[in-house]
Structure 1
Amino acid sequence: MDAGASSEIVTLRRSAASVGQGFASVKIDDCKIIVTRDRDKNAPEKYIIKGVCYSNDANGLTFYENLDRDLELLKAIHANSIRTFRPFAAYKEGAETVELDYEKTKLMLDKLAGAGISVTVGFDSARDIIGGIRDDATGRVYREAFYMEYIKAFASHPAVLAWAFGNEYNYKYAEWFGGDKGRWLAILADAVKNAKAVSARPTAVVHGELPREAEMLEYRAIHGLDMVMLNIYRGPGFGTLYKDWKSLSRATPMPVVLSEFGRSSMDGRGNDTSALQAAWLEKMWAEIESNSTGSGAGGYVFSLKDEAWKGDFDSGPNIGLESHLGLFTADGQPKPAARVLMRLWKAAEHEKELRGKN
């Protein structure tokens, strides 16, 4: 991070909260995420996610090396949660397989909890559940059922909000499962069952867009699946999403958690759209907040920082270049969107504090 960026982050952070607020328990109850804090186990409260998706590389192997710097960015915008696509973990050096470094991983989770930031820990089907494949970057092999090693180790850690399996696999059945959707549903059901056997934290699947009725029936058939999180990219608003979700989930009430939403700061022609990104995110968050009194439980902006490994892939007018979806540049320079969310999330924090005093 250059000196200019560092100085601007200090300015952004002047009023950032730093009170640790880890969880003693998390549960889904009547379309709400209900948490009790470690500091006051007898005061359950509704939890609204003010979160960002968080990656530092394509396969989630460098969280440990980057966390201290990135934690400053998270505090600056008053985020209270992150969502990862792979386990939020550190790994042992020199091992032939991808092996968990327990002490470093616990230190990372402790730092999150100490900053009042939770994590929805993501697991990839091929790498973390099935295993046996070789990582292109490191040459190491992913171990079978690594997800269970992780969940057993941190089943009730106060930083953990939920366990999330897959990421919009409904778009990839043909590519990743030979067109056999049932194969993924069986893997998911088994993973949820195993997670529930060792951890009381909620389980989730991440779905691209709003599921069809038939898809919701399939998810509802999975015993122990607590949430269907949604990746939504519809432009500056969400249309009838919340109304449609209420009807769709009536048989098994679940909160609406947006596992991804946002907009790039660059379009497919290379034009700077950072002002548009900021304006859209302001509208999106206003809509999320207005629905938080019902089944809305917040969501995760994609993403904390720009992700250069995405290349020049253009996802169309509702998204733009995927490599420039960050609230911050890759080196930590805040974009206008970061300042917008800092203002909005700081205001939400202040309002919550006022309610607590009355």
Structure 2
Amino acid sequence: MSFFINGMQVKRLIRMTMSLIVVLYLPASLADPVKVSVVKTAEGYQLLRAGEPYVVKGAGFSQGDMSSLAKFGGNSIRTWHVEEDLEKGMALLDQAQALGITVSLCLNIARERHGFDYNDPEVVKKQFEQAKDAVQMYKDHPALLSWIIGNELNYDYRNPRVYDAVNDIALMIHDIDPYHPTTTTIAGWNEDLVGVIGTRAPALDFLSIQMYGDLINLPRYIKKAQFKGPYFVTEWGAVGHWEVGKTAWGAPIEATSSMKANNYRKSYEKVIASAPHQALGNYVFLWGQKQERTPTWYGMFLESGETTESIDVVARAWNGEWPANRSPGIKSVHLASRRGRDNIYLSPSKKYSAKVKAFDPDKDTLTYAWSIKPESDSVKHGGDFEQGIADLEGLFTASQTPKASFRAPSKTGAYRIYVYVYDGNGAAAHANIPFFVRAK
């Protein structure tokens, strides 16, 4: 008997060990998967879970308070990666299960724009095996809803073989996990791309589309393309920073929290709710907070944890009624009597004022906080990580009232002034205005 085994045997042994760990980790009551399927109906398509129609009221979730999603009426989350640490991954699924929330897990599939070569069969095979290991780890958890095979793999892609790899993974999943459907997400709508995916990845059960300001046009795009298949909208929400007007120095102009809430409402009513037999699920972005150009652009929560008006709107769409405590809103915000689109130039160290008009549907007493940050210089895209930006200290002489007084920074450059409005009951509103400091 030899004590040496080849590489393939090692990989097989690792996979067998991981599968055994999963079985040992889960109590018997949690080891039974729940069947999820997409079925054809006379009207179009239907998502079934445990044989019953399942309407996804979902949100993109990375970290934060999952229980708040259940509190506001949500029933599903999607991730952007699969946790390689089994204990952490199971903890997420167990928490979701306890809250009555399902999970669409996104497999860690590499993007061409990050240097992955889909012409290299060895690295493609290695990725396939890693995906298989991940599926083996989590496929039997009852909270699992679907498998997302990669996030926005089309972003800056050139090689269509990426979708051959996606199809191979989908076939593998169908073989070892017949209980859960498969999908892949695309950034935006591209009729040619949808055709490529349909040809190269026919094993997918549905398509997942991610759109922001352009989402309002999705019904028109689908009609023009004569696309008849089922789909999810796996990211939608605020108008993207690449879709808005910019200042003369290139700073994107961010909407107020109230303007964003109105966009969430319009997107849900006119797009998502209007196609119930084709748009089988959706995940609003983002149930949490992140830095992407600003700390407030995409998160439905503030960094300090307060909810915003966008959550009110989504909760009403899910439940048919407003939350018990409504978030405050923004009527207007001005810096030196001008608005964000007015290309505001300030002089170094000179005194200025900014003013916000806010309201609260519940007539709560409002408090205010102002801050100034340097403008983000990030050129990252596709949701890649951005480092947070610290507030500048010592500029304000009054910063806790609707009207703030401050001195402009002394250093030439681009900045942004932020205002936060709190209702004292865990909800808030926000707005910001970009400005540029230069000597006259």
2:222 and 2:231 mapped to 1: Cα distance? Answer: 10
Residues 219 and 271 of structure 2 are in contact (CA less than 8 Å); yes or no, is this contact kept in structure 1?
no
Q: Which amino acid aligns with 1:295?
A: Q
Match of 1:281 in 2: 264
Match of 2:149 in 1: 165
Match of 1:202 in 2: 181
Match of 1:110 in 2: 94
Q: Which amino acid aligns with 1:154?
A: Y
Give the direction of change, closer, same or farther, for the CA distance of 1:326–1:106 in structure 2 (3 Å limit). same
Residues 189 and 218 of structure 2 are in contact (CA less than 8 Å); yes or no, is this contact kept in structure 1?
no
Deviations 1:237-263 (Å, cap 9, x if unpaired)?
A: 3453485288223xxxx3231111110
Matches within 5 A, 1:336-347: 336-347=309-320
Residues 209 and 233 of structure 2 are in contact (CA less than 8 Å); yes or no, is this contact kept in structure 1?
yes
1:294 and 1:221 mapped to 2: Cα distance? Answer: 25
Q: Which amino acid aligns with 1:211?
A: N
Match of 1:34 in 2: 47
Q: 1:152 aligns with which of 129, 136, 155?
A: 136
Matches within 5 A, 1:119-130: 119-126=103-110
1:258 and 1:202 mapped to 2: Cα distance? Answer: 15
Cα shift at 1:149? 1.6
Give the direction of change, closer, same or farther, for the CA distance of 1:46–1:287 in structure 2 (3 Å limit). farther
Cα shift at 1:116? 1.6
Alignment RMSD: 3.4
Give the direction of change, closer, same or farther, for the CA distance of 1:145–1:345 in structure 2 (3 Å limit). same
Q: Which amino acid aligns with 2:77?
A: I
Residues 32 and 47 of structure 1 are in contact (CA less than 8 Å); yes or no, is this contact kept in structure 2?
no
2:115 and 2:141 mapped to 1: Cα distance? Answer: 24
Q: Which has the higher contact order (CA 8 A, sep 6+)?
A: 1
Deviations 1:52-89 (Å, cap 9, x if unpaired)?
A: 11224xxxxxxxxxxxx5112212321111111111x3
1:307 counterpart SS class: coil
Q: 1:72 aligns with which of 24, 44, 67?
A: 67
1:332 and 1:265 mapped to 2: Cα distance? Answer: 22
Deviations 1:175-216 (Å, cap 9, x if unpaired)?
A: xxxx3222x122212211222221121010111222315632
Q: 2:235 aligns with which of 260, 263, 267?
A: 260
2:198 counterpart SS class: helix
2:209 counterpart SS class: strand
2:224 and 2:295 mapped to 1: Cα distance? Answer: 27
Q: Is structure 2 residue 82 aligned with structure 1 residue 82? A: no
Match of 2:159 in 1: 180
Residues 242 and 291 of structure 1 are in contact (CA less than 8 Å); yes or no, is this contact kept in structure 2?
no
Unmatched runs of 5 consecutive residues or more in structure 1:
1-21, 38-43, 57-68, 90-99, 133-141, 174-178, 313-320, 350-358
Match of 1:25 in 2: 35
Match of 1:333 in 2: 306
Give the direction of change, closer, same or farther, for the CA distance of 1:330–1:197 in structure 2 (3 Å limit). farther
1:245 and 1:50 mapped to 2: Cα distance? Answer: 27
2:33 and 2:128 mapped to 1: Cα distance? Answer: 29
- Report the TM-score when normalising by structure 2: 0.54
2:115 and 2:95 mapped to 1: Cα distance? Answer: 29
- Report the TM-score when normalising by structure 1: 0.65
Matched positions, count: 269
More helix by share: 1
Q: 1:51 aligns with which of 48, 58, 64?
A: 58
1:158 and 1:187 mapped to 2: Cα distance? Answer: 27
More strand by share: 2
